[in-house]
Amino acid sequence: MKTLAWFRSVAAKFFHRAETSAAMDEELRAHIQLRADDLERSGLTHAEAERRAHIEFGGYEKFKEQTHEALGGNFIETFVQDVRFSLRVLRKSPGFTFAAVATLTLAISANAVVFGVLNAMILRPLNVPEPNSLYAIERGGYHDISQSYPDYRDLRDRNRTFEDLAAYDLAPAGLDTGKEITGAWIQETTGNYFDVLRIQPYLGRFFHSSDEHGPNSAPYIVLPWAYWHTHFQDDPGVVGRVVQLNKHPFTILGVAPQGFRGNLQFLSPDFWVPIVNQEQVEGVSVLNERGHRSLLMVLGHLKPGVTPAQAVADLNTIGASLEKSYPKDDGWMTFSLTRPGLAGDWFGKPLKAFLTGMMLLAGLILLAACANLGSLFAARAADRSREVALRLALGSSRRRIVRQVFTEAGLISLFGGILGLAVSVALLRALSMWQPMETAPIRVPVDPDAKVYAVALLLAVASGLLFGAVPVRQVLRTNPYEIVKSGSAGRIGRRITVRDLLLVVQIAICAVLITSSMVAVRGLVKSLHSNFGFEPRNAILVDSDLSMAGYGSDRAAAMQKRLIDTVDAIPGVQSAGVVDRPQLHYGANTVTVYADKATDFRPANKAADAMTYKVSPGYFEAAGTTLLAGRAFTWHDDKNSPPVAVVNREFARKVLGSADNAVGGYFKRADGTRIQIIGIAEDGKYASLTEDPQPAMFLPTPQSPTSQTTLIVRSSRDPQQLTAAITHAVRDLDAGLPITIHTWTQELNDAALFASRMATMALGVLGLMGAMLSVTGIFGMAAYSVSKRLRELGIRIALGAQRSEVLQAALGRAVKLLVLGSVAGLILGMLANRVLAYIVYQASPRDPIVLSGVVLAMALLGLVATWIPAQRALSLDPLVLLREE
Amino acid sequence: MPDQAQLLPGTLDLLILKAVSLGPLHGYGILLRIGQISGSALLIEQGALYPALFRLVRQGLMKASWGTSDNNRKAKFYELTAAGRKRFREETEGWNRLAAAMTTALGAQAEEV
């Protein structure tokens, strides 16, 4: 009852404010009247009595305000008043409002975006039932997540700790729906895949283990919801339809539910097929090769009550027995468990570290933004000290004024938070749609959820409180009499304040970021002109997979020769050659090789793990790889002649001891085949731009057939014309062969330079943010120092100070801090770039262009930041100023 | 002017309750009454009376109604409610205990310890 009454009184007070106020006035006036009557009776004149009564009553407005407060319900009322007043004040200084809201928008959106990605990639569990007991199996101390199919079968059938184990591989394939042929990425899964993950079909049915009856026995397709939606227009009649997959008929069984996009967070396959049909899909089946670790991942749910440690012990027992049974193929069969969502620790760990780092950075940005907004607020409070003093003198309480300051801060943080959230939602949506690489099904589904919104708004409110608190001390210490009497003089402190320190740190961080991003950009430019061991300029890649057009590996070599001959005949083509997978194209195949005298082919006795490329005659010319000695392949290096290879210098050095007389030498493969070295190629980059020299070997396609085909065409003709000519020629050869054509530079941008491009972009964005923050920081500080010293500056001008002297007095401190921060940042940046060297090719901060670029950028930044305060200091009119103050 | 004592925090409410317990009064009347019964020994800022009055009304200890003063001016008159009378008794007892204890404590002589 009491609360109800209170609410009613609150509501009444709120809605009948005018009434209450009038009644209160009447009562207080009556009091003064009564007192005046008494005083008049005691002999004073009427006027004098009224004056005395007023004085004795004390601060009329103050007591009225307190009486209002005593009535309760005052909070909301005051709040509405404060908000209205704040809005008015903010509208009156649009520059300040804009700077503050923009800064906060920036900081909040940075935090929300990073948190959104973190949330989607790491915090949010995989969208499958009971993700907590789902694990993937990693092999060996180097956390290799790939397994071979025979090993998988042993693990699946012999373990006692998993409910069941599923496995899958990824492969490209050509899908012919009758209307068009499209390249697609498919996940070849074991029959039990959906059962292991406990997913139910949205439409039709899934395939199961019971559908597997040996090789090519289950020509079925399951579509993800998204692919069904975009390629089949939500047609429910799709179930049962037969489509051509690499020219083999496959039946569409069903559609997976919308939320399920496979078990990887960052990669969504275009559809699923049973792995027993691998030969039809990839042209070759490796399911019987124990040494061929082609399965991307083996995963399953632990049985209830089984701990990961027990499962690992169980798996290790099986591993030990496998090692004993198959010494040639299985080495280092110890296991560990990992989460399947991020493809194991080799990818998941760096990703986690990266995202955590980004989150910290975003937090720092927010903190810096708060510091800057704090000084902006302090500058404003100094500007408004007269107003504050006046309000205090008129009986306003300090608490009320502090509340007012917080209301302003709260409004700004609210606007900033909402805008920041809007920006980040847009960015996250764009990121979700984004496909960073044309050639791989990588998607980052980071659609924001309620958690992201909550975090963004929470951060906004928290930062509002934080920067709103900065000018509080200033308000509390305001002495109205002093200020009204002498103007807002206030001595400017000479000592280093925490705020100064913060600003220096901020400028330093900004300088570090600018240095890093410039180094990254320079590295990127340089890496486009460095020596890869091939020449990407004036070369075009024609990407295809012959198995998609139904060529098995037996017919592939002949088809490749026809392809090369056809393209060679196009005018302007200097040379053409085939490679199974170009260098620097998402990693490389490695093959273990042994010295010629080796007889024991255990992994421990290997001479090297060589990057292996299957290339056709004409490849070295087309790729622009220089042969240092010996000869290149010819079409006569076929199955009827002894096996040969071209190796790079590093291979020769590592396996044969030296490159000088390696030509004619021999080495062995794990199956004991002796291979003769017929040529030495220059060293190049194979898996990544920043790698150390790696051993590599090239095998002739006639001897090692592959249907994976990338045709490299060297020509100085315009790529567009050439692309058209090649497309035409290939279609004449086989209209059913899907091809994609890029320039090699383009391909490098996609694949090899991906990491450094991303790093450059991220650093660029962060650098920009840092720059904006530094600008607002310096701006706030300079504006504060100018407004604090208006009088002093006015007097100096009146006494005939030069413009430069005025500027020095007004901005000297800000400039000093800027220089200090920049130098510190530059030095730190040089140190930090050792880290960058891992991702960016030849990252060197001691580059004069980088150095001068950073200095220029920081100077520009300072100029932008101090422009407005400098203008204000210079345009001071001492007369106006002295009269006012 | 005689020496005047500052009010202890919280005592203004009790004084108001006391003043009003002797009969309905308007704000200025309460002030005069307090002055009269305390022998003008207590200093009360006139305006400070009103926040206290409104608070007591909100707490339901007093009720107010408009009326006319002795010299025919419109004024708001306050009187105790039942709850107010109860609270007044309790607070008076509490105060007396406190005052007695303080007096005893401060009057203690060395030999009594």
Is pLDDT at A868 greater than 90 in this prediction? no
* Residue B90 C-alpha, separation from nearest chain A C-alpha, in angstroms: 21
| Closest residue of chain A to B65, computed from CA coordinates | A27
Do the Cβ atoms of A63 and B54 come within 8 Å? no
Model pLDDT, residue A488 = 47
| Cα atoms in the 13 Å half-sphere on the side-chain side of A39 | 21
Distance from CA of A34 to the nearest CA of B (A): 7
The pTM is what?
0.63
Share of chain A above pLDDT 70, in %: 89
Inter-chain touch A35–B69, beta carbons under 8 Å: no
Q: Which two tokens stand for residue A140?
A: 């060996």
Q: Output the pLDDT for position A280.
A: 81
pLDDT digit string, tens, across residues A35-52: 888 888 888 888 888 888
Chain A residue whose CA is closest to B46 = A57
Contact B58 A9 (CB under 8 A): yes
| Statement: residue B1 has pLDDT above 50 | no
Q: Are B47 and A59 inside 8 Å of each other by CB?
A: yes
- Smallest Cβ–Cβ distance between B27 and the set A31, A69, A71 belongs to A31
How far apart, in whole angstroms, are the C-alpha atoms of residue A784 and residue A490? 12
Residues of A in contact with B51 (CB under 8 A): 63, 66-67, 69-70
Task: Tell me which chain B residues have a C-beta less than 8 angstroms from the C-beta of A28.
Answer: 47, 50
Write down the mean pLDDT value for chain A. Answer: 82
Tell me, what's the pLDDT at B2? Answer: 43
Q: Which residue of A has its CA nearest to B77?
A: A27
User: Cβ(A882)–Cβ(A794) under 8 Å?
Assistant: yes
Q: Do A56 and B46 touch (CB under 8 A)?
A: yes
- Average pLDDT value for residue range A318-336: 84
Q: How far is A406 from chain B (nearest CA, A)?
A: 26
In what helix (H) or strand (E) does residue A578 lie, and over which residues does it extend?
strand A573-579
List residues in chain B touching A: CB distance below 8 A.
26-29, 45-55, 58, 69, 71, 73-76
What pLDDT band is residue A485 in, cutting at 50, 70 and 90?
Answer: low
- A58 → closest Cβ in B29, B47, B54: B47
Tell me the nearest-neighbour CA distance from B110 into chain A, angstroms. 45
DSSP state of A652: I
- A471: tokens are 């000018």
Maximal C-alpha separation, chain B: 61
Q: Say yes or no for a CB contact (<8 Å) between B46 and A71.
A: no
Question: Are the beta carbons of B27 and A27 separated by less than 8 Å?
Answer: yes
Task: State the pLDDT confidence band at A696, using cuts at 50, 70 and 90.
Answer: very high
Taking alpha carbons only, the member of A514, A520, A515, A517 closest to residue A772 is A514
* Least confidently predicted of A183-197, A345-359, A530-544: A345-359
**Do the beta carbons of residue A63 and residue A95 sit within 8 Å?**
no
- Residues from chain A that touch B50, judged by Cβ atoms under 8 A, are 24, 27-28, 31, 63-64, 66-67
Candidate ranges A78-92, A466-480, B89-103; pick with highest mean pLDDT: B89-103
Question: So what's the pLDDT on residue A75?
Answer: 65
Least confident window among A309-323, A739-753, A806-820: A739-753
The continuous run of DSSP H or E covering A628 comes out as strand A627-630
| A754-765: average pLDDT | 76
Is the pLDDT score of A283 beyond 50?
Answer: yes
More confident residue, A408 or A659: A408
pLDDT of A712 strictly over 90 = yes
Cβ-Cβ contacts under 8 Å, A30 against chain B: 26-28, 69, 73-76
Q: Is A60 on the interface with B (CB under 8 A)?
A: yes
Task: Out of A30, A69, A72, name the one closest to residue B75 (CB).
Answer: A30
Q: Provide, rounded to the nearest whole percent, the portion of chain A with pLDDT above 90.
A: 14
Q: Which of A257-271, A436-450, A789-803, A840-854 has the lowest mean pLDDT?
A: A436-450
Is B47 within 8 Å of A30 when comparing Cβ atoms?
Answer: no
Count of CB contacts below 8 A, A vs B? Answer: 67
Percent of chain B's residues with pLDDT above 70: 88
Identify the top-confidence range among A414-418, A506-510, A837-841: A414-418
Residues 8 to 47 of A: which have CB under 8 A from any B CB? 9, 24, 26-28, 30-31, 33-35, 37
Which range has the worst mean pLDDT, A15-24, A150-159, A624-633?
A15-24
Q: Nearest to residue A676, comparing CAs of A699, A701, A692, A654?
A: A699
Q: Do B46 and A58 touch (CB under 8 A)?
A: yes
Which of chain B's residues have a Cβ under 8 Å away from the Cβ of A59?
A: 47
- Chain B: give the shortest CA distance to residue A63, in Å: 6
ipTM above 0.90, yes or no: no
CA distance, residue B76 to nearest chain A CA (Å): 7
Q: Do A28 and B50 touch (CB under 8 A)?
A: yes
Yes or no, beta carbons of B58 and A70 under 8 Å apart: yes
pLDDT tens-digit profile of A829-861?
A: 877 766 766 666 666 667 788 888 888 988 888
- Contact residues on chain A for B29, CB-CB shorter than 8 A: 34
Calculate the alpha carbon distances from A487 to A356, A667, A792, A881 in Å: 49, 91, 11, 10
Q: Convert chain B into a string of H (helix), E (strand) and C (coil).
A: CCCCEECCCCHHHHHHHHHHHCCCEEHHHHHHHHHHHCCCCEECCHHHHHHHHHHHHHCCCEEEEEEECCCCCEEEEEEECHHHHHHHHHHHHHHHHHHHHHHHHHHCCHHHC
pLDDT band at A648 (very low <50, low <70, confident <90, very high): very high
Mean pLDDT of A687-702: 85
CB-based contact A28 B58, cutoff 8 Å: no
Mutant choice from A28, A41, A67, A68 vs B, greatest count of B C-beta within 10 A? A67
d(CA A841, CA A833): 11
At which residue do the structure tokens 């490849």 appear?
Answer: A619
Mutate: best of B46, B55, B56, B62, partner A, most A CBs <10 A: B46
Q: Which residues of chain A lie closer than 8 angstroms to B69, CB-CB?
A: 30, 34
- pLDDT over 60 (residue A58): yes
Rounded distance between C-alpha atoms, residue A488 and residue A652, angstroms: 80
Interface contact flag, A70 B71, Cβ < 8 Å: no
Contacts of A70 in chain B (CB under 8 A): 51-52, 54-55, 58
CA angle (A91, A92, A97) in 5-degree steps: 55
Query: Averaging pLDDT over each range in A481-490, A555-564, A682-691, which range is the top one?
Result: A555-564
Which of the two residues, A625 and B69, has the higher pLDDT score? A625
In this structure, of A181-185, A422-426, A436-440, the range with the lowest mean pLDDT score is A436-440
Is residue A770 within 8 Å of A110, Cβ to Cβ? no
Residue A126 dihedral angles phi and psi, to the nearest 5°? -55, 140
- Binary contact (B28, A62; C-beta < 8 A): no
How far is A243 from A857, CA to CA, in rounded Å?
58
CA–CA gap between residue B81 and residue B24 (Å, rounded) = 11
Between residues A682 and A798, the one the model is more confident about = A682
Whether residue A706 has pLDDT greater than 60? yes
Q: Give the Cα separation of A326 and A40 in Å (integer).
A: 118
| B71 → closest Cβ in A37, A67, A71 | A37
